[in-house]
Amino acid sequence: MTLSVLFVCLGNICRSPTAEVVFRDRVRAAGLEEHIVIDSAGTGDWHIGRAPDPRTQEAAASRGYDMSGLRARQVGVADFDKFDVLLAMDDANLADLQAMQPAGSNVVLKRFLDYAPQSGIREVPDPYYGGEDGFARVLNLVEEGAEGLLEALRERL
């Protein structure tokens, strides 16, 4: 049994690629890399083909995550077929995905932080135009969400 998960934000250069590398790390540590397929994408098209934002890469590297090989891509209608679970970083991303969802698609479409209810926070805040602490905050929230997501998916494998 394999489950596939796509993390989605706006640009695919800050939040969703962070979620991709953190979740991949947790999945590997759990020995489940053969069972869980992981990717990320953005609803916007501005950064297609680019590496993650240098500030995001730096924050991730400080906790041991290497994001240098990732390249941004845009989410497409085909992703609703290809993935079992689509996880939006914020409410705008969720609304954009809901608007794209083809009739009859039974993908699981949620906010990523639905898996971190104890955080009391629903959205991973966009760090792009903020200060440096925004990037550490993204990592904190993503690490919390990744733990909860792994536990939830374990039950479905």
**Is residue 67 within the footprint of ligand 4NP (CB under 6 A)?**
no
Within 10 angstroms of residue 49's Cβ, the number of other Cβ atoms is 7
DSSP notation for 128-152: TTS-THHHHHHHHHHHHHHHHHHHH
State the Cα–Cα distance between residues 90 and 111, nearest whole angstrom.
Answer: 7
**Is residue 13 within the footprint of ligand 4NP (CB under 6 A)?**
yes
Q: Computed from CA positions of residues 40, 141, 117, 99, in that sequence, does the dihedral angle turn out positive or negative?
A: negative
Which range, of 9-17, 61-69, 75-83, 113-121, touches ligand 4NP by CB under 6 A? 9-17
Binding mask 22-61 for ligand 4NP (x = CB under 6 A): --------------------x---x---------------
DSSP notation for 71-109: ---B--TTHHHH-SEEEESSHHHHHHHHHHPPTT---EE
**Is residue 73 within the footprint of ligand 4NP (CB under 6 A)?**
no
Positions in 91-130 near ligand 4NP (CB under 6 A): 126, 128
Least Å from the CB of residue 64 to ligand 4NP: 20
Least Å from the CB of residue 1 to ligand 4NP: 30
Residue 7, both tokens: 């993390």
Interface ranges with ligand 4NP (CB under 6 A): 9-15, 42, 46, 126, 128
